[in-house]
Amino acid sequence: MLRDAALIAGKDLRVELRSQVTTQQVAPFAILVLILFGVALDPDRGILSRASSGLFWVAVLFCALLAIQRAFTIEAADGGRDALRLSGLDPAGIFLGKAGAIAVQLVALEVVLAIGVVVMYGVEVTGVPLLVATCGAATAGLAAAGTLYGVLAAGLRVRETLLPILLLPVLAPVLIGATKSFEAALGGVAADGWPWCGLLVAFALAYLAIGTLAFGTLMEET
């Protein structure tokens, strides 16, 4: 299973590395979102730096949607999905591989966004261990739930519009947990953030478990 996961993750990341879509389109989009928030919320630094945790995670959610759509579009052409189904790879491995590749891209995007937030919103970075743990747990949750709902919407005519409405309400706990945890790390009391980090870990584990179990059935459907 893990070998299959590594194969799939390697394949997806190679595709991204060669097509450069994440670096040339999604990452600039992430920065664009930060700029738009700045414009919308009046570049009065008070508001932006106070709201930076939430804005950061909203930007991550938007980027995650793009990355998830992308992860399933690359297989839409040339019967890639059928090939994947016929490959004999463990469906659980495929799920973990795709989620892993999405997670790696999200982490890269989070680094870009973090730099953007620090530079543009004037945020002082404190509580680094909590920040890193939150990013890890939230990213795992986003990638796992995203992959599960992504495959549900894959191959449909309305996938671009359907995925956000299916996925975003489900990700509300991740947004809440990650934002609260970041607020605690950046200027709050770090100890307040760890329970939220726990919520994120639980969410990620639940969706990893569901995805590992259900992905086989879902692959047959799409």
Q: Of 116, 150, 177, 193, which one interacts with another protein (CB under 8 A)?
A: 177
Q: How far apart are CA 100 and CA 115, in angstroms?
A: 23
CB of 157 to another protein, least distance (A): 8
Choices 35-43, 85-93, 114-122, 156-164 (CB under 8 A): range interacting with another protein: 156-164
C-alpha span between 49 and 56 (Å, rounded) = 10
- Does 168 sit near another protein (CB under 8 A)? yes
47's tokens: 């508001």
- Is residue 128 a contact residue for another protein (CB under 8 A)? no
Among residues 16 and 81, whose Cβ is nearest to another protein? 81
Site for another protein in 192-211 (CB under 8 A): 199, 203, 206, 210
Q: Which residue number, 7 or 84, has a Cβ lying nearer to another protein?
A: 84
Minimum CB separation of residue 180 from another protein in Å reads 7
Least Å from the CB of residue 154 to another protein: 10
The binder of another protein chosen from 13, 51, 166, 205 (CB under 8 A): 166
Distance of alpha carbon 218 from alpha carbon 91, whole angstroms: 9
Q: What is the DSSP string of 92-142?
A: HHHHHHHHHHHHHHHHHHHHHHHHHHHHHH-PPP--HHHHHHHHHHHHHHH
- For the chain, the first-to-last Cα distance in angstroms comes to 21
Alpha helices, DSSP H, located in the chain: 2-19, 21, 27-40, 45-50, 52-73, 80-86, 91-121, 128-153, 159-170, 172-185, 190-221
Q: Which is nearer to another protein, 7 or 188 (CB)?
A: 188
Binding site residues, another protein, CB under 8 A: 149, 152, 156, 158, 162, 165-166, 168-170, 172-173, 176-177, 180, 199, 203, 206, 210, 214, 217-218, 221-222
